[in-house]
Amino acid sequence: MAIFSFLSPFYLAVLCVLIVIILQNMKKSEGKKEKGETKTESRPWVDEDLQDSTELLAEEDGTSPSGAHTEPWTFVVVEDPEVKHKIREIIEEEEEINYRKRMGDKWVNDLKRLKTNWVKEYLDTAPYLILIFKQVYGIISNTKKRTHYYNEISVSIACGILLAAIQNAGLVTVTTTPLNCGPRLRLLLERPVNEKLLMLLPVGYASKSATVPDLKRKQLEDIMVVV
């Protein structure tokens, strides 16, 4: 403190307060930087802040159009690791039979370049699994059903909007349609009999080591016809 001996106690006090303020600001900006960094960094499929995102996505999806405004969809968002693991067990068991027996050589061969198989690690590691059920009819009472016109098309449109919303939110997913798993997953998730599984979307941030196949898209003139 000898170097400050030329300052009056008043100025020394002011100097101390200034140093404290500067140090506090430095700490704050370091914290902000850390926060900003994790936002831009691609991370493994683990993130606790995703809760808000999934609610936001579901809300956005609820704006999807539906035949006769029947809104024939249910989005089951699974975050419980135990339930996710049970889902994985069911899907891997059924998918192994799919790949080995049900799908046949041609289908399995067509998938080879995409390197998919029945091992689905992402069902454990993705922070959220969204299972989209189509309600093939509505239930008004024990004896009365409501017709859900075009329920599959309506829910498929909702899934498309959800895919776009996931991408817009900076998250990643893969469209999956677990073959022959619907009935067991419906029972596991305690969904009613009028609901059938349409799609399962694992949602999270891409891991740093994630790669995607370099697929070529059709040209506009090949997909659009102007009459």
Ligand X SMILES: Cc1cc2nc3c(=O)[nH]c(=O)nc-3n(C[C@H](O)[C@H](O)[C@H](O)COP(=O)(O)O)c2cc1C
Residue pair 49/205 in contact (Cβ under 8 Å)? The answer is: no
Report yes or no: 214 and 134 within 8 Å, Cβ to Cβ. no
Which C-beta is closer to ligand X: that of 2 or that of 223?
A: 223
Comparing CB distances to ligand X, the nearer of 57 and 181 is 181
User: Which of residues 183 and 192 has its CB atom nearest to ligand X in the complex?
Assistant: 183
CB count, 10 Å around CB of 3?
A: 6
**Minimum distance from residue 123 beta carbon to ligand X (Å):** 11
CB of 141 to ligand X, least distance (A): 34
Return the residue matching tokens 């900006």. 29
CB of 38 to ligand X, least distance (A): 28
* Pick from 73, 57, 93: nearest CA to 185: 93
Query: Would you say 72 or 178 has its CB closer to ligand X?
Result: 178
Minimal distance in Å, beta carbon 172 to ligand X? 12
Return the amino acid letter for 44.
P
Nearest distance from C-beta of residue 142 to ligand X, angstroms: 35
Q: Is 102:180 a contact under the CB 8 Å cutoff?
A: yes
Answer yes or no: are the C-beta atoms of 46 and 127 closer than 8 Å. Answer: yes
Long-range CB pairs of 187-190 (<8 Å, 24+ gap) are: 188/83, 188/86, 188/87, 188/90, 189/76, 189/78, 189/83, 189/131
In the bound state with ligand X, the residue whose beta carbon lies nearer, of 12 and 99, is 99
Q: Contact positions toward ligand X, by CB under 6 A?
A: 114, 116, 174-178, 215
